[in-house]
Chains A and B, each alone.
Chain A
Amino acid sequence: MKKSILLIFVMIVVWSCDVLEVEPKSSIEASTAFKTKEDIEKGILGAYSYFPAFSYYGRSNVIFPDLAADNLSHPIGATASEYREIANNNILPENGSVGGMWSIMYGGINVANNVIDKVPGIENMTEAEKNAALGELYFIRALNHFNLLNYFGAIPIKTLPTVGVGNLDAPRDPVDQVYSQIINDLVFASENLSASGNKVRTSKYAAKALLARVFLYKGDYDQAVTFATDVIDNGGYTLLGNYADIFAADLSSESIFEIYFSQTERNRIAEYNFPTSLNGRREVEPSASLLAAYETGDARYEASIAFAGTSAYAIKYDDLSLGADNVIVLRLADMYLIRAEAEAHKTAPNIAAIQSDINKIRLRANLTPTSETSPAQLLRIIEKERRIEFAFEGHRWFDLVRTGRAIAVLPNVNGVNQTLFPIPSDEIQTNNHPGMTQNPGY
């Protein structure tokens, strides 16, 4: 008996020693996370991994710009009230889908900043490799800032990683400063990234293409023309002959930058677009005004819209079952229309060049070329071409807002206050900086 008692004591002592020796099993301690070039690579992918979220390019950010404008509407029988608020341009600051976009965009920025912070200390990287890594991270940061700017107006610029919980209150920075930050980041990226890329990650010309769009939005038309031209001439991209092919397969030659989706990292765009009879949720449907906007014979109609009975639904991203189709952020057609629009805003526009760019798009869609010569009228034509060409790709709202046309075009938008989404209440309530103010009207 004495022996077994002794044995029990030994057991107690041995066992108790290691109950407190516990390691995390599914995460890495910060101290060991970034040591090598390969770790930085994983960090960059971590920053990219925010883009496919449902609240970002996986759904919301693709649908909302068409829904808030006049390309998509919210069917009577649909259930998501957050979508109804957006369709009605009557968004509450508590809108969780809008809050989700805000959070995920800043989440991506923080991860990028976190890795940016680590790059200089990595020993087995050359200066060029470090700059290329930084370029990619700057691009990610810039795209997030740019998306935020377009939805919400003045926003806090974040260039440092969040470490600890001190100083998290941040003011909104003026729109000009946000633009400067975005442009600086993109210029660095365009100078340090290589021209080749696999399109689901950024490249020199993806950075330049985004710069062209940023300059157009900012109203810096000369620069917009310059960068768009650079991409068109030197990027190596080609317009596909058949419009429908752009969405038929991933990584087409027209695509400049797209977000990767696969069966394991799926998007839910088709699920929200497809009618219930085809097992979708039908939270959105193409609006009557969009259906009416297509000219007869426009090849883009059948490539963009299908019908189940009498219900129309968008089919650019139509992989309902797997959600594995990549979402295009930048493609060559955008560059032509950016260049045309920027050119039309110049004091002495080159009308022929504008017509030529527009007609590249129209001719591909099997439409007659335009011979309009008035810059003002050309801008209207470009507006309409952009509406049709990029329908359901997340452009329409920004196009109408940046050109000041939203109030005139959209029936539910009655004042300039509605052209900015409300700052999500999560931010307003937790960010105590006096400079964190709500947009007017909310």
Chain B
Amino acid sequence: MNKNENLYSFKRIKSFRYYLVHMMRVFLLLITFGLGSAFANLSEAQTKMDINVKNVSLEELFKEIQNKSEFLFFYKDDVLRHKVSLKLKNATLSAILDAALKNTNLSYKIDVRQVVIKEDVSLKAIGTVGQNQEQRSIKGTVYDDTGTPLLGATVQIKGTNQGVTTDFDGNFEISVPDNATTLVISYLGFVTKEVSIVGLSTVNVTMVADNLALEEIVVIGYGTERKSLISDAISSISSQQIEDLPVSSVDGILQGQSSGVQVMQNSGTPGGEMSVRIRGLTSISGSSQPLYIIDGIPVTTGDYGQLSYSGQGSSALSDLNPSEIASISILKDASATAIYGARASNGIVLITTKRGKAQQSVVNVNVYSGMQRAWNRLDMLNSRQWMEYRNDLMGTTVFTPEQMNNITVDTDWQDVIFRTAPISSYEISTTGGSEKTKFFISGSLFDQEGILIGTDYRRLNARANIDHQLSDRFTIGTSIGLAYAETNRVESDQTLHGPLPNGISTPAIFPVYNEDGSYNQSGPYSNAVSIANEAIAVNYSYRTNSNFYLDWKIIDNLKFSTKWGVDFMNFREHSYESTKTVQGAKYNGLGFETYSNVTNIVSNNLLTYNKSFGNHKLDALLGYSFESYERTSSYIRGQDFADDSLEYLNSAATIVSASSGATESGLRSYFGRLNYNFDDKYIATFTGRFDTSTKFGENNRTGFFPAASLAWRVIEEDFMENLNTVSDLKFRVSYGLTGNDDISPFLFSELYSTTVYSGLPGIYPSNIPNPDLKWESTAQFNLGFNLGLLNDRLMLTADYYDKQTKDLLLSRPLPPTSGFSSITENVGRVENKGIELTLETRNFVGDFSWNTQFNISGNRNKVLELYNGQPIDDIGRGGNRIMEGQPIGIFYSYKSLGVDPSTGDIVYADTNFDGVITSEDRTIVGNPHPDFIYGLTNNFSYKGFDLSIFLQGSQGNDVFNGSRLFLESLQGGDNQTTAILRRWRQPGDITDIPRATTDPVKAAQNKRVSSRFIEDGSCLRFKNVTLGYSLDDEMLRKTFFSSIRVYLSAQNLFTFTNYTGLDPEVNYRGDDNSVIGTDFFTYPQAQTFTLGINLKL
């Protein structure tokens, strides 16, 4: 074996141990950093100090305290006339202030670090009475309902503003006048409690959680709503659900988290795009991706790459850092989405980023680091098996027995192209603020190498979210998100130039390197390693997604709000193939440089009004919004490079192509919502939006999208009062219209495009006009209920929906004799019907807690009508087809009946019994849509330990394993899988693999696109398992951290599937509506192990 050559390549792959050591280093560094730094203790109230002043003004006293502690004083000037003399040792702030303010009409309030001094009328009364009274001290501890001490709970003397907050261990000490009888204890999220202190010097208080206050607030279109009052179908995902996942993108974290949302990771390419489908496919030619909205501003999504990396599309969505997210709402039914009108058919994903709170500043550090590897390999022929196969194929002795017994080269190409790759993420954020100004600031670095050589992804994010109250009536704020991402790509799917297909398809008899160290290029395809090492293909994304808002409270119930946002992206691709690659050698060095600038400016202007009259509550919203979108791009291709080491186009002698272009579009919208609530029992919501879009034809420029929903909260009815087991019951129904406008601009217009012949400019008709062109419209009916049992220990949400989409924006194929291949028209109808169930249970509460969240959904997609009933045929490599009565992208090809034992050739079903196999014999052979998809999350915690197990799966979907077209072709120069070892050899053999033959006609027939290559793609994945440990208070006290958690996480730990390819969860055509479920040398997903730490300062 030619070991030296292959070892050379293995040296490039670092060992697992290397990464382990690397990770440990990072952790040690962080922990030492934390322990060695002097950070202020969170519980300032506990700070003790010595005070010795004589006849100073209060101001001087406060300055003295400020110097000795972290406290900040707020007061009016006129309080300063009081003079005080104090001598106290080792006193808490409350003790000092109690003494200092004893004989004044002033009271104080401590809010963590802030001390507010106020003149108090009520205190004046107490004060005057109390002048003669003795003070006494009350001590105590405040616990929550599980017995955990509550830090920072407010303890006040009833009827005064005098109070203290509890310390780290929930302890408080308050000095009260003798005649005080009651303390009021309050804490956010708990029912405020009054305790009698008559005759007591110590009180222990247990607080009861306030379900109403704790209740989740869900973000809805242009607003928020309490979860229990929502009448629409909305799923929400909180930041807790998604933390720790070693997933780089927003779409990736949606997977398995919510019913009705199917997320397909089209390939394992770092930073690559995914397909997200909310309640099925509603479109054939338009996009089926949902509309993403971040902090109210629509996000530019999609692939802006101009170089083809077929199936490895980049994704503008991947520029966003998931750890900046506070919550995600997925709007599913028409009533929730119609407020986004012409872009709402595919559902809406509303994302809000984290914002500051009025609290002491908290610094969070989150770091994880780990390794990834390919979870699966194909069984390929080794050199000896390859030689035997070639001899059988050619029918002659291509390789002599001597050669076969002295094999010198036996390359495992998968070992060469796959590697163990590191992944890490570093994030630091700080949040805090006062009542007036709040902030959230974060910065992060995500760094991932791909498991396929030549691929990696690095991203830097920064965010500053600031809110400031200008006055009682005005609030302004901004959200600034910045991102820089760098992706190293290699071509893969569907090309002859990608390391993955080339590596897998190259027989083991070819070494990676020649004796002289150069790349061995004698295999059937160009050397995979040469492409990965010698071809440069990087793209850079520079992005800002920022906005500015102003809220104006005109009168108490009426608010005006204006928000201006911009999503700007510069996407640059830089590519160079040196002459060491086959592609580069052909052109003497081949380089590309492309730029795309995408700008979307959005203005949202809202007027909101709410009013209660007795049991009636009314919320109204009126909005006006407009958007201006512009995209410019340039593209240069050059060849004949002066030197292999020069990768930029200034070294290219020939510029073979250079172009630039621009497109613009605009959208103007008016919208409104009216929400009526009777006694929290009956809730009705009416929504409507007018959208005027430049994408539509002059006859249909403006669309109207209305929707309505009703909810009946049965739980509020009198007859439910005695049913103690039922804690929530709500029925919901909604109906409405939404649209999809995802088409290129000016498709409605008759246009001439430019071209060139003989070096001179020419024009040609490029578009058949269609002035009636308009949006796709989807009418959706939704029926659902929410059921809570046993005090919401068990919560069930169920929905049934029926989505009818008509006027499909269909790129209808035209007879090529017309000179056009297609026209975009509003023809055809598609239906999606489905059921979604979500079950959340709290199985154990207390010391040992166990929560379960299970969601399952099934969608049935059906094409109801196409233009003249014409099917759209033979799309993609797997023979996807769009035909009436079937789901979009059904597999339609020849039906293989297996291998004829007498001839060794595949027999195809003659479905029309005409005695010959023609294209007329093609039939439905598979369905790429799953019967149902599901996700199951179990969270356990005990003491400091937490364990989360997240399973996700898809059942009943077929996958066309296109790689087998080549890897079981039994012809050509491609390496084969070991499946062909059971091929037909002689008459009588019963097998599923045909013979190896050089008969060109038979060989071609045997590898026809047929049911032979369709497999069950059902899979169940242990998507994520995370085990964490949080240090307890005892241990934390020795550090300067208020919280430390370490965790170990595994992504794609196990995958259960019968699929024989690299990964069942793939699609070589990326985010395509009709080419689905097709694997063609697609970059598989990685198995990832990470070790992480969360620190709070």
Contacts and interface: CB of A to CB of B under 8 A. Distances in A.
B871 A429 contact: yes
A56 interface: no
Name, among B656, B694, B868, B1001, the residue most crowded by chain A CB atoms within 10 Å (CB to CB). B656
B269 to A, nearest CB: 24
Interface stretch (A21-29, A126-134, A286-294): A21-29
Interface stretch (A158-166, A212-220, A352-360, A379-387): A158-166
Interface residues of B, number: 85
B240 interface: no
Contact of B818 (A78, A79, A168): A168
A223 B823 CA distance: 43
Contacts of A29: 749-752
Nearest to A263: B656
B765 A110 contact: yes
A48 B768 contact: no
B821 interface: yes
A22 B745 contact: yes
Nearest to B393: A76
A368 interface: no
A16 B668 contact: yes
A49 interface: yes
A372 to B, nearest CB: 37
Contact of B762 (A45, A321, A425): A45
B819 A109 contact: yes
A279 B586 contact: yes
Contact of B769 (A77, A164, A279): A164
Contacts of B474: 1
Nearest to B526: A276
B998 interface: yes
Contacts of A5: 552
B758 A45 contact: yes
A81 B1004 contact: yes
B694 A20 contact: yes
B21 to A, nearest CB: 43
B973 interface: yes
A78 to B, nearest CB: 8
Contact of B665 (A22, A30, A76, A168): A22
A69 interface: no
Given A29-B750, A46-B755, A114-B765, A8 B586 contact: no
B816 A102 contact: yes
Contact of B819 (A52, A92, A162, A260): A162
B972 A30 contact: no
Contacts of B1004: 81, 84-85, 88, 90
Most chain A beta-carbon contacts within 10 A, residue among B587, B588, B661, B919 = B919
A429 B752 contact: no
A15 B666 CA distance: 11
Given A45-B756, A156-B817, A94 B874 contact: yes
A442 interface: yes
B560 to A, nearest CB: 8
Interface string B554-584: 0000000010000000000000000000110
Nearest to A201: B758
Contact of A260 (B605, B628, B757, B769): B757
A262 interface: yes
B201 to A, nearest CB: 53
A31 B752 CA distance: 10
A162 B768 contact: yes
A48 B758 contact: yes
A279 B580 CA distance: 11
Contacts of A161: 765, 819
Contacts of A78: 972
A279 B470 CA distance: 69
A430 B754 CA distance: 27
Interface string A143-161: 0000000000000101001
A33 B752 contact: yes
Contact of A92 (B639, B694, B756, B919): B919
Given A12-B562, A424-B816, A19 B663 contact: no
Interface in B575-610: 582-583, 585-588, 603, 605
A22 B524 CA distance: 51
B1035 interface: no
B494 to A, nearest CB: 12
A349 interface: no
Contacts of B765: 30, 110-111, 114, 161
A426 to B, nearest CB: 6
B815 A42 contact: no
A57 to B, nearest CB: 12
A123 to B, nearest CB: 19
Contacts of A90: 1001, 1004
A5 B550 CA distance: 9
B918 interface: yes
B813 interface: yes
A75 B399 CA distance: 20
Given A162-B820, A201-B758, A321-B586, A21 B666 contact: yes
A44 interface: yes
A103 B814 CA distance: 11
A111 B874 contact: no
B814 A28 contact: no
Contacts of A322: 639, 654, 656
Contacts of B821: 103, 426
Contact of A265 (B550, B749, B756, B764): B756
Contacts of B587: 321
A432 B813 CA distance: 12
Contacts of B874: 94, 425
Interface in B408-467: none
Residue of B753, B815, B971 contacting most chain A CB atoms (<10 Å): B815
Interface in A66-95: 74, 76-79, 81, 84-85, 87-88, 90, 92-94
Contacts of A79: 496, 972
Contacts of A85: 1004
Contacts of B665: 22
Contact of B751 (A8, A24, A321): A24
A20 B868 contact: no
B816 A426 contact: yes
A43 B755 CA distance: 10
A110 B768 CA distance: 12
A85 B752 CA distance: 36
Contacts of A436: 815
Contacts of B750: 29-31
B324 interface: no
A77 B763 contact: no
A93 B751 contact: no
Contacts of A265: 756-757
A341 B586 CA distance: 41
A23 B662 CA distance: 10
Contacts of B868: 432
A425 B757 CA distance: 30
A262 B760 CA distance: 12
Interface string A256-289: 0000101111100001000010011100000000
8 contacts: A16-B626, A45-B758, A78-B972, A107-B816, A162-B819, A321-B640, A427-B817, A429-B870
Given A19-B667, A30-B750, A103-B816, 18 more contacts: A12-B624, A19-B626, A30-B752, A45-B761, A48-B758, A49-B764, A77-B973, A84-B1004, A113-B819, A114-B765, A158-B819, A271-B586, A279-B585, A321-B639, A322-B656, A427-B817, A429-B873, A430-B814
Interface of A: 1, 5, 8, 12, 15-16, 18-31, 33, 39, 42-49, 51-52, 74, 76-79, 81, 84-85, 87-88, 90, 92-94, 99, 102-103, 106-107, 109-111, 113-114, 156, 158, 161-162, 164-165, 168-170, 198, 200-201, 260, 262-266, 271, 276, 279-281, 320-322, 424-427, 429-432, 436, 442
Q: Give me the 7 closest cross-chain CB pairs, A-B, nearest first.
A: A110-B819, A45-B762, A19-B666, A46-B764, A30-B750, A46-B762, A431-B815
